[in-house]
């Protein structure tokens, strides 16, 4: 089975990169939607439109992209047996943190959907930096393999 992953490594890599780009696009965009959603009056037509946009972004783009990023990333890890490399372990931890942030986005979306958001526009501006910082760390770890 490991031979299968090794043989198709480049295909998995291409699919992984596509999934990660899609996942990250959504991870950057969702907090921006929250920033603007905070400005809207609860129950307004605009607020309801944002709720639908946030739901569709999460369900149609972010969730499937994360799932595929994980699937193809794990295929690559098994294909090249990366589990013992320190750079990979740190990268893997960063991806777990990114997935946790994904969970928070999902939770905050549900709060907006129920008109129960308690966070400010400024809060969402700041948390919007989390996926950026994690992405920078992940890319440097993958490209430089410093450990």
Q: Encoding tokens for residue 146?
A: 């410093």
Check residue 81 and give left, alpha or beta (phi > 0: left; psi -120 to 50: alpha): left
- Going by the annotation, the residues of the binding site for heme are 16, 91
Q: Encoding tokens for residue 99?
A: 């997935």
- Going by the annotation, the residues of the binding site are 16, 91
DSSP 67-97: HHHHHHHHHHHHHTT-TT-HHHHHHHHHHHH
CB 135 within 8 A of CB 20: no
Q: How far apart are CA 26 and CA 116, in angstroms?
A: 22
Q: How far apart are CA 131 and CA 134, in angstroms?
A: 5
Q: List, in sequence order, every beta strand (DSSP E) within the chain.
A: none
């Amino acid at each position: 089975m490991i031979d299968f992953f090794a043989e198709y490594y480049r295909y998995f890599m291409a699919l992984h990169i596509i999934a990660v780009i899609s996942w990250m696009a959504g991870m950057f965009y969702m907090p921006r939607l929250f920033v603007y959603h905070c400005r809207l009056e609860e129950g307004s037509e605009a607020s309801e439109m944002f709720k639908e946009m946030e739901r569709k972004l999460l369900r149609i783009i972010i969730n499937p992209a994360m799932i595929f990023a994980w699937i193809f990333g794990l295929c690559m890890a098994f294909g090249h047996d990366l589990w013992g490399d320190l750079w990979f372990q740190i990268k893997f931890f960063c991806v777990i943190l990114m997935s946790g942030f994904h969970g928070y986005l999902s939770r905050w979306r549900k709060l907006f959907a129920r008109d129960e958001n308690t966070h400010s526009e400024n809060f969402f501006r700041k948390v919007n930096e989390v996926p950026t910082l994690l992405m920078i760390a992940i890319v440097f770890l993958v490209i430089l393999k410093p450990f």
